[in-house]
Amino acid sequence: MKKETVLSGIRPTGFVHLGNYFGAMRNWVKMQEEFDCYFCVVDWHSLTTHPDTKELRESVLRLLSELLASGLDPEKCVLYIQSHVPEIAELYLYFNMLAYTGELERTATFKDKVRQQPDNVNAGLLTYPVLQAADILVHRATKVPVGKDQEQHIEMTRNYAERFNHRYGNVFPSPTAFSYDSELTRIMSLDGKGKMSKSENHMVTLYLADSDDLIREKIKKAKSDAAPAEPNSVKPDSVENLFGLMRLVSSPDTVENFEQDFNNCVIRYGDMKKQLGEDMVKFISPLREKARAFRADEKYLNQVMSIGAEKARNSAIATMELVRDAMGLKYFALKS
Ligand code: TRP
């Protein structure tokens, strides 16, 4: 039986943090074993918010290195850069004629961006979900591992697929958003305010590139609370958050000990954070060092990018044949 096709994308903006790792990358690594996977560094999408390209090359290569360090294997999945696949841009153009501006203006992510960058409300920002639909449908993917905030975009992708099929003939499947472990995809920032990814304060976000000392310092400064006054109290959010991080990187015994201390009202958050800091260092530092080694090996990165581009283009070219056929964009008479 043919495996289902999975596609996901990640923007090369900023540094990869723990929220990306547990929310996305770790799941991708699992999925590459089971599905026909395409994972894409979406550099075109990043231009909608980061028009300055001075740092783009470095961001793309660093992200690629971090994806490899996390365990994505170019032999098991198709790992590529969006701009290496021009077919995506062609499909984006066709989908733009099937996307209504009213719908695009009502998209939650668009409204957020308008608030964040009122001086650069460019058309690319408005049609961001159209480009995302092209990413997904150019491989006729059916499963899209994404966070909750992306579900509206996947719904829009289904709309464009349906509109295309209705108007021109059946080419596209109806993809669905898909997440492996939904409760693990919410990594809160270290001040307990919002998701780690949303935070603008670098001291409350843990990055895969952080040094050991910086990791320790961030965790030391993380928000805790007063020790509970009564046995078996409900944990305040900031404390639950520390436990959540501990469950991800510490041994079950360690977590259990601190749970008991909490329930017996003898917990010392200083000790807990010290332990968490050490376990976090043990978790992050091998990833950081592997990423650094991949980043230093440009020959290997070039090879990964060109193999990925070729595989992704083969799939995209096949889809675009069907698309142009269905649309009647064929003007040469092949037989006379
Ligand atoms: N919009 C996604 C994000 O901000 C990134 C993305 C671009 C994506 N194209 C995609 C995700 C295709 C899944 C599928 O995180």
Query: What is the residue-level pLDDT of the chain in tens, covering all 336 positions?
Result: 789 999 999 999 989 999 999 989 999 999 999 999 999 999 999 999 999 999 999 999 999 999 999 999 999 999 999 999 999 999 999 999 999 999 999 999 999 999 999 999 999 999 999 999 999 999 999 999 998 889 999 999 999 999 999 999 999 999 999 876 555 557 889 988 888 876 678 999 999 999 999 999 999 999 998 889 899 999 999 999 999 999 999 999 999 999 999 999 999 999 999 999 999 999 999 999 999 999 999 999 999 999 999 999 999 999 999 999 999 998 887 666
What CATH class does 210-292 carry?
A: mainly alpha
d(CA 103, CA 126): 10
Picking from 250, 330, 290, 313, the residue whose alpha carbon sits closest to that of residue 72 is 290
Q: Whose CA is nearest to atom 14 of ligand 1?
A: 8
Q: State whether the beta carbon of 11 lies less than 6 angstroms from ligand 1.
A: yes
pLDDT attached to residue 42? 98
Binding site membership of 143 for ligand 1 (Cβ less than 6 Å): no
For ligand 1, mutation pick of 46, 88, 132 (most atoms within 8 Å of CB):
132
Note the pLDDT of residue 336: 62
Structure tokens at 266: 């003898």
What's the confidence (pLDDT) of residue 48? 97
The dotted CATH code for 5-185+297-327 is: 3.40.50.620
pLDDT at 178 (0 to 100): 87
43 C-beta closer than 6 A to ligand 1: no
Nearest 5°: the CA angle 109, 55, 19 is 45
Domains 5-185+297-327 and 210-292 belong to one CATH topology: no
Determine whether the shortest distance from the Cβ of 146 to ligand 1 is under 6 A.
yes
Predicted local confidence at residue 226, as pLDDT: 87
pLDDT of residue 76: 98
Residue 210 Cβ inside 6 Å of ligand 1? The answer reads no
DSSP 8-state code for residue 250: S
- Dist. CA 134 → ligand 1 center (Å): 11
Residues 138/315, Cβ–Cβ less than 8 Å:
yes
User: Which of ligand 1's atoms lies nearest the C-alpha of 153?
Assistant: 1
pLDDT of residue 187: 84
The residues with which 277 forms a beta bridge, in sequence order, are none
pTM of the predicted protein model: 0.94
CA distance 204 to 17: 11
Question: In the chain, where are the structural domains located?
Answer: 5-185+297-327, 210-292
Q: Alpha helices, DSSP H only, in the chain?
A: 18-20, 26-34, 43-46, 56-70, 87-96, 101-105, 108-116, 123-126, 128-137, 151-168, 212-220, 237-249, 252-263, 269-296, 298-327
Give pLDDT, residue 180. Answer: 63
Give the pLDDT of residue 307.
98
